[in-house]
Structure 1
Amino acid sequence: MKLRNLAIAALIPLTALTAPLAAAGDLAENAQATRTERDADPQRRLVIGGECASCDFSGSNLAGAHLYRGNFANADFSGAQLLGARFANMRLDGADFADASMREVRLSNVTMNGASLVDANMTDMRAHQVMLQGANASDVQMNGASLVQVSLQGANLRDADFSAATIRSGDMRGASLQDARLTNVVMQHIIMHQANLRGAAMEGAFLDHVDLTGATLRGANLTGARFRAVNLTGVDLSRTLGLTAQLLEKACGDETTRLPEDMNITLAACDNEIPGARPVDERAFIAEAEARRLAQLEAAQEAFADALASVQSRAMASGGLEREAMETAREALREAARAQAELARARAHSGWQFDMRRSELGEPMQFWLDGATPPQPPTPPARADRPDRR
């Protein structure tokens, strides 16, 4: 297990603004203790960040944890308890989340290409700007989930449950949704070229600006479904269930679109690309993640400045600072300087602004700062305990 520059901070209680950095040996020992003891009590508001490629969190209780801005590629979270956990600005490519309990998990600016989500419970998940290209998510539970700006290109979603889920602005080209449950799903602005929807349960589904060019829908059940601006070019619908003329009124196709023999209708031609149904641009992911990072740096800088001002004012009131408080102040100052330098470098390479909506943040750093209290200077010892400085 690799543990490089890994920061872990429990935020209840939090008496300093900066997270303590544990030595790699200590972290390895703590990780081993976690795996052996498997504490049944959730470690609420635990913050984990840094470099932890191939780390072993299998079976761990990380409910409510915040995992922020780190490289956890190929990490093992199989069977882990991640109820309500938050992942932000992270690389989780190749990570293993098989059988993990991830109800109400929050993902923001995360890459999970090639990850395993087999049998994971992600009910009511919220995902924003997540890359899951080539992921293996067969039998995953995403019912009630909300996915915005996601890439599931080439992903294995066989037997997945997307019941009552919402998927907006996504790339699902070549994804396998065979026998998946898509009842009452809402899909808007999705490109699904060559997607496999064979045998999918799509009763009550609403497809809005979805490009199904070359997709397979043999045996899919579209009873009660609704279409709006759906591209059916090259799609074989001859053995699709629940297909009606009313459903196809707002769909388009061409001579390669196959309809049931008893359905004598002509689909509108798809002259132009469906507006908004384009592949997700990974460069846009990176640009928006960078803008979000800059905003976080600015917030962190302001928080550090406030903390330093508080330490200084308390120092003047108490007549001086002891060594521990001075070290806290110095570390805060160094962190603020690093943030300022990184912010200046980033601004030199960008000439645009990004309006960050707090409702989409979900980033641990914001919760970290919100829940923090300024460092408290230690109470001066009684005069009798002071060393003789004469």
Structure 2
Amino acid sequence: MTNTTRPAVASGPKAVIPPIILGVLALVSAVEPLSINMYLSGLPALGRDLDLSQAGAQLTLTFFLAGMAIGQLVTGPLSDARGRRGLFLAGVVLLVLATAASALATHAWILFASRFVMGLAGGTAVVLARAVAGDLAKGPELARVFSLLMLLGGLAPVIGPVLGGLIVDGVGWRGVFWVLAGLNLLMAAAVWRFIPETLPAGNRSTGGLRPLLAAMGGLLRDRAYVGFTLGFIFSFSTMFAYVSASPFILQEYYGFTPVQFSVIFAVNTTGMFLVALTNARLVRRVGPLPLAKIGNAVLLAAVVYLVVAALLDASRWFILAGLFVVVASMGVNFANNSALAISRAGKVTGSASAFMGSGQFIMAGLLSPLVGLAAAAGMSQPVAMTVVMLVTAVIAAAGVWGGARVLGRE
């Protein structure tokens, strides 16, 4: 059955996306943070229940992120050929089913498989949310839209960790997945009701492997696109090194309880929320490029501070201060780096979004168990985390400044 009632969709660089569509896209954008953040405080308990080590429990993140990467890489180019809406609906329905399967998992391999499928479906939804936004807005307006999506979707990682901590304390980690299944069902209904087809048939590319490779080659030859994409991917990787390691570092190394951990996580994400709000107000006047430069410089400085604090075995409050700045800086980095990259994509917005998203989650998946493995080898957990963050932050900064140099020559 086709829903014939659609919000009007404006087009052009200065188009304003209807609020109802923006709200649904924000809900979709919450898939990834909710699917990660809500059950983080339950990772130690999950590991005990399924007889998994710290690195094994973190593999539930790795499988999800691998699915996110593959789902985006396949769906983005495919949507450039087939359109957005049908793939969008298929992805959100599959997400509901996979989340319920995760709640019912009785063995580690079942949870690994269901989390991988959750990632595939979530990747489909997330890449199409960015592609729909890219269809409807360009340039500074697109950066503003991404800031608003982060702002609205940012409620999820603020509320999610606290809610997740309470659920884990009350009914265990499985309860988190049942709550997620209900939220994903609501999201699926909203996508069906309110998201129109935003890529007309006349604007679609020819499907198949050859156009996918051609699109990839064209984008990878664009040094500005590559630079800003690296900035986006490795900014996310910097934060994810913290996200994947923090349940163990903050609870087991520094002694915070699951609820305290969830509050800390929410406070950090509130900083990102407020910075994203400020970015949305400034980007039309200042432009995304200057803000991206500032955001990446702040990120790099905060990570250097964290490395020094970890090496000196400073108080946990010094570590928390540095982590707050790292997470808050993402309110600038994510929106502007992604807008600058996607604005280079032309008619292959889906492909550009897919390459960004798949790279983002491939790197995050590789990093997820890395800190745990380094700690198992004898390195201090805070030092292991901050050293990984330093490497990724340096690459992110190099990418943004490299992309900026290309724009300066054009």
TM range, smaller chain: under 0.3
More strand by share: 1
Could you tell me the TM-score, scaled by structure 2's length?
A: 0.23
Could you tell me the TM-score, scaled by structure 1's length?
A: 0.24
More helix by share: 2
Bigger RCO (CA 8 Å, 6+ sep):
2
